[in-house]
Amino acid sequence: MNQIPERLMHVRERIRRAAMAASRPPDEIMLLAVSKTKPASDVAAAYGAGQRAFGENYLQDALPKIRALADNDIEWHFIGRLQGNKTADISRHFSWVHGIDSLKHARQLSTHRPADLPPLQVCIQVNLSGEDSKGGVIPTNLNALATEVARLPRLRLRGLMTMPDPNADTARRDAAFAGLRGLLESLRAAGLDVDTLSMGMSGDMEAAIREGATIVRVGTDIFGARD
Ligand SMILES: *Cc1c(COP(=O)(O)O)cnc(C)c1O
């Protein structure tokens, strides 16, 4: 039996409650349904239940789904690690990219973004746990990168994204979420027009919403466990 519509309703309810608890309007928080490794039929089931924004990590996994569902009004977000040889395809097939962490990849995305599409919306990924493996720019380098990315003609810098260390305790995790919000505020103070905090997943969306998330990226709790 397909439980995706029920799971989706449940996640929406969690978002609504977390927003109310934080005295925030629930419609300020966008649910990104992370469909990585799941079939196009699962995306279609969520779409049928009203979901429009979907997140994918792997280009090769995403392209067949994007093609199969091309007639639908879906907004695709690339949330995986960027590689130079993939930026051209990503800039054509996605509306958003959440994991910008180098000027080189940002420039490539801008160069390849087709002229007939609106600018590609991007978030800079920030590494707030001090691990090298996770990707993301360190906070000290953020302002310089954000200033350059904001100038690229075919990108529209929307804000910041982070993935806390999965082994962090809740205090450190919450500190990472609050830290990202502080960094967004510092970019605003520096004159950049940014509004997006992409943070929070199945296990920690409530904490992220409490700290100001405007996009939560939820996979497992909508589509079930991945292999
Ligand atoms: C897989 C993934 C998610 C979703 O994680 P779940 O725990 O399944 O909700 C969110 N963000 C990124 C960047 C991911 O890679």
What are the structural domains of the chain? 4-223 (3.20.20.10)
Distance CA 221, CA 155 (A): 31
Any atom of ligand 1 within 6 Å of the Cβ of 224: no
Q: Which of 83, 74, 25 is nearest to 53 (CA)?
A: 74
Rounded mean pLDDT of the chain?
96
Q: Which of 70, 176, 69, 61 is nearest to 78 (CA)?
A: 61
**CA 141 distance to own-chain centroid:** 20
How confident is the model at residue 129, as a pLDDT?
81
Q: Band the pLDDT of 6: cuts 50, 70, 90.
A: very high
Give 217 Cα–ligand 1 centroid separation in angstroms: 6
How confident is the model at residue 132, as a pLDDT?
62
Nearest atom in ligand 1 to the alpha carbon of residue 34 is 4
Residue located nearest, by CA, to atom 7 of ligand 1 = 202
8 Å CB contact between 52 and 82? no
Nearest atom in ligand 1 to the alpha carbon of residue 202 is 9
What percent of the chain stands above pLDDT 90?
Answer: 93
Q: Is the per-residue pLDDT at 94 higher than 70?
A: yes
Q: Band the pLDDT of 27: cuts 50, 70, 90.
A: very high
Residue located nearest, by CA, to atom 10 of ligand 1 = 217
What percent of the chain stands above pLDDT 70?
Answer: 98
Q: Is the per-residue pLDDT at 160 higher than 80?
A: yes
What is the tens place of the pLDDT at every residue in 99-150? 999 999 999 999 999 999 999 999 999 999 876 667 899 999 999 999 999 9
How confident is the model at residue 166, as a pLDDT?
87
Any atom of ligand 1 within 6 Å of the Cβ of 34: yes
Any atom of ligand 1 within 6 Å of the Cβ of 222: no
Q: What is the mean pLDDT of residues 203-219?
A: 98
The DSSP H or E segment spanning 14 is helix 4-21
Nearest atom in ligand 1 to the alpha carbon of residue 201 is 9
Alpha-carbon torsion, ordered 135, 121, 193, 138, to 10 deg: 0
Handedness of CA 214, 219, 220, 226 (dihedral sign): negative
Give 34 Cα–ligand 1 centroid separation in angstroms: 6
